[in-house]
C-alpha cells in the first residue's frame, strides 16, 4: 500500500502569530515538504493545481514535480488534482509524458474537475459542462497516450487530424491515472470504464458517503471486466495532526482549525473529527482511525494525508511528517499488508505497468514528417524562411 502526503498550496495566515508567508516562502516550503516525505520513507507526494489566490499550488504541476524529482530518488510524484476540464488534453499528454521521462517513470496523475467555479470562464469553459468536459477530454488524453496517430473530433475542442503527441510515453506506457472525485458518480463510472484508479478525497465527507462512492466504482469496475470488485484500485484522502499527548495535539491545532480558509468558523473541531477523517490526537489514535478505513472501503491501495494547510508553520509540518513516517505509517503498512488477500493488487507503478505490457517499447525519433493534412513540411514553406 502506498502512503504519502498531498498539498493544496494554500497561503494562509498563522492565527497564532498573525504572520502570512510570502508566495516564495510557501513555494520553497513545498519543496522541503516533499523532500522530507522521501527522507522519512513515504511513498508519494502530490500537489494540487490552482489558478487563483490564496493558493500557490502550481498552475502547471509538471514544473514542480520535475524540480522535486531532481532532488529525490524514490518518491512517486503525483497531482491532486490535474484539471481535466479546463486544460487542453494535448498539452496534458505532452507535458506529463515529458515529466515522465524526466522522473524515470516516477509520476502518475489524479484527474479531477476542480472545485473553484471561476476557473472555468478564465479558460473559456462553462462550469455547467464540467462532467461532459471531463468525459470528453479524458477520452482524448487516453487516446493520445496510446495511439501513435490520432484522428479525433469532439464538442469542446478543435479537431485533430493525423496528430502525434510528443514525446511518447516512457517505455511506451502512459502514466497511471487516478480519477479524483468527492461527489460525482459519473467520475467513478469513468474510472471504472477505463480500469483506472478512483481516488475519493473524502476529507470533508462522512464515511457513509465515501463507502457508497467506492462501492459504486468497484461494482462498475467489475462490470467492465477489469477484475473482481475487490481488485479495483482505490485511494483515499486524510487529515491528521499529532502530538505524543492527544490533548496537546487538540490544544495546538484548534486555532488552526477554527480559522482554516475552508472549514474555519463552521462546525466545531469535535464535530468535524467525528464526521470526517480528520484525526487530531496521538499517533496511536491516528493508527486506529485509519486502520478502520478498511472496514469502510475494503482493501485499498493509496492513502494520502493533508498536513500542511491552515497556516501551519513549516517547522510544525516537518515535525508532523516525522511522526507520520516514523510512528504511524510503518504500523499501518504492516497491518494493511497482513490483512490484504493475495488476489488484491498493489498500487500500480511504472515498473509494474511496463511488466504488464510485456516490457518496454522504445520509439525511435524519425526524420521530420510531412504534414499528413497539408502535404507540406514547415521548413519547406518559403514564406516562413528568413531572407
Tell me which of 65-69, 85-89, 346-350 is least confident: 85-89
C-alpha distances out from residue 186 to 112, 265, 269, 295, 352, Å: 12, 32, 31, 24, 28
The residue assigned the cell 493545481 is 49
pLDDT tens-digit profile of 106-145?
999 999 887 666 777 887 888 888 899 999 999 999 999 9
Query: Rounded distance, CA 23 to CA 28, Å?
Result: 9
C-alpha distances out from residue 45 to 8, 165, 288, 302, 358, Å: 12, 27, 23, 11, 28
Domains observed in the chain = 2-384 (3.20.20.30)
C-alpha distances out from residue 279 to 206, 246, 268, 290, Å: 13, 10, 13, 9
Q: What letter would DSSP give residue 83?
A: E
Residue 236 has pLDDT above 70, yes or no: yes
Q: Are 280 and 253 in contact (CB under 8 A)?
A: yes
What is the pLDDT, as a whole number, of residue 116? 67
pLDDT tens-digit profile of 262-312?
888 889 999 999 999 999 999 999 999 999 999 999 999 999 999 999 999
Query: Rounded distance, CA 58 to CA 77, Å?
Result: 14
Q: Are 280 and 312 in contact (CB under 8 A)?
A: no
What is the pLDDT, as a whole number, of residue 364? 60
Residue 362 has pLDDT above 90, yes or no: no
pLDDT tens-digit profile of 51-79?
778 888 877 899 999 999 999 999 999 99
Amino acid at each position: 500500500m502506498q502512503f504519502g502526503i498531498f498539498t493544496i498550496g494554500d497561503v494562509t495566515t498563522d492565527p497564532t502569530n498573525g504572520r502570512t508567508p510570502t508566495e516564495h516562502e510557501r513555494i520553497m516550503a513545498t519543496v522541503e515538504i516533499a523532500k522530507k516525505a522521501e527522507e522519512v520513507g513515504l511513498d508519494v507526494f502530490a500537489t494540487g493545481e490552482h489558478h487563483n489566490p490564496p493558493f500557490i499550488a502550481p498552475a502547471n504541476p509538471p514544473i514542480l514535480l520535475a524540480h522535486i524529482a531532481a532532488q529525490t530518488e524514490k518518491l512517486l510524484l503525483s497531482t491532486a488534482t490535474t484539471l481535466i476540464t479546463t486544460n487542453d488534453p494535448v498539452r496534458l499528454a505532452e507535458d506529463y509524458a515529458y515529466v515522465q521521462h524526466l522522473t524515470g517513470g516516477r509520476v502518475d496523475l489524479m484527474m479531477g474537475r476542480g472545485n473553484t467555479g471561476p476557473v472555468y470562464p478564465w479558460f473559456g469553459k462553462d462550469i455547467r459542462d464540467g462532467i461532459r468536459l471531463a468525459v470528453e477530454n479524458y477520452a482524448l488524453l487516453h487516446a493520445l497516450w496510446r495511439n501513435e496517430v490520432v484522428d479525433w473530433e469532439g464538442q469542446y475542442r478543435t479537431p485533430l487530424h493525423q496528430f502525434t503527441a510528443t514525446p511518447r510515453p516512457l517505455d511506451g506506457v502512459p502514466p497511471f491515472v487516478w480519477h479524483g472525485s468527492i461527489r460525482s458518480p459519473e467520475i467513478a463510472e469513468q474510472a471504472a470504464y477505463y480500469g483506472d484508479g478512483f481516488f475519493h478525497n473524502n476529507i470533508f465527507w462522512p464515511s457513509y458517503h465515501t463507502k457508497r462512492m467506492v462501492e459504486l466504482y468497484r461494482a462498475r469496475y467489475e462490470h467492465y471486466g477489469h477484475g473482481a470488485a475487490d481488485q479495483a484500485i482505490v485511494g483515499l484522502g486524510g487529515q491528521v495532526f499529532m502530538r505524543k499527548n492527544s490533548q496537546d495535539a487538540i490544544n495546538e491545532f484548534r486555532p488552526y482549525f477554527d480559522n482554516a480558509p475552508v472549514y474555519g468558523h463552521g462546525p466545531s473541531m469535535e464535530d468535524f473529527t467525528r464526521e470526517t477523517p480528520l484525526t487530531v490526537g496521538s499517533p496511536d489514535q491516528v493508527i486506529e482511525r485509519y486502520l478502520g478505513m478498511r472496514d469502510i472501503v475494503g482493501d485499498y491501495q493509496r492513502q494520502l494525508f493533508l498536513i500542511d494547510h491552515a497556516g501551519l508553520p513549516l517547522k510544525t509540518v516537518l515535525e508532523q511528517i516525522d511522526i507520520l513516517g516514523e510512528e504511524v505509517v510503518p504500523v499501518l503498512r504492516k497491518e494493511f499488508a497482513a490483512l490484504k488477500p493475495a488476489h488484491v493488487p498493489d498500487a500500480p507503478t511504472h515498473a509494474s505497468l511496463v511488466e504488464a505490457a510485456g516490457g518496454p517499447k522504445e520509439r525511435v525519433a524519425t526524420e521530420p514528417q510531412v504534414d499528413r493534412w497539408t502535404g507540406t513540411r514547415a521548413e519547406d514553406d518559403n514564406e516562413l524562411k528568413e531572407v
